[in-house]
Amino acid sequence: MFPLPSVWFLRFSLIYLVIGSSLGAILMLNKAFTLNPKIWKILPIHYSILIWGFLLQLIMGTAYWMFPKFLSEHPRGSTWQIWFVFYSYNLGFILYLISKFIFPLNSLAIIGKILIFIGIVTFMKLVWARVITYNK
**Boundaries of every domain in the chain:** 4-134
Judge contact between 47 and 97, C-beta under 8 A. Answer: no
What pLDDT digit, counting tens, does each position of 8-62 carry? 999 999 999 999 999 999 999 999 988 888 899 899 999 999 999 999 999 999 9
**Distance (Å, rounded) from C-alpha 26 to C-alpha 32?**
10
Q: Percent of the chain, pLDDT > 90? A: 64
What pLDDT digit, counting tens, does each position of 75-118 carry? 777 889 999 999 999 999 999 999 988 888 888 999 999 999 99
Q: Taking the model in full, what pTM does it have?
A: 0.87
Per-residue pLDDT, 134: 53
**Distance (Å, rounded) from C-alpha 62 to C-alpha 8?**
11
Burial 109-129 (b: 16+ CB within 10 A, else e): bebbeebbeebbebbeebbee
Amino acid identity of residue 71, one-letter, is L
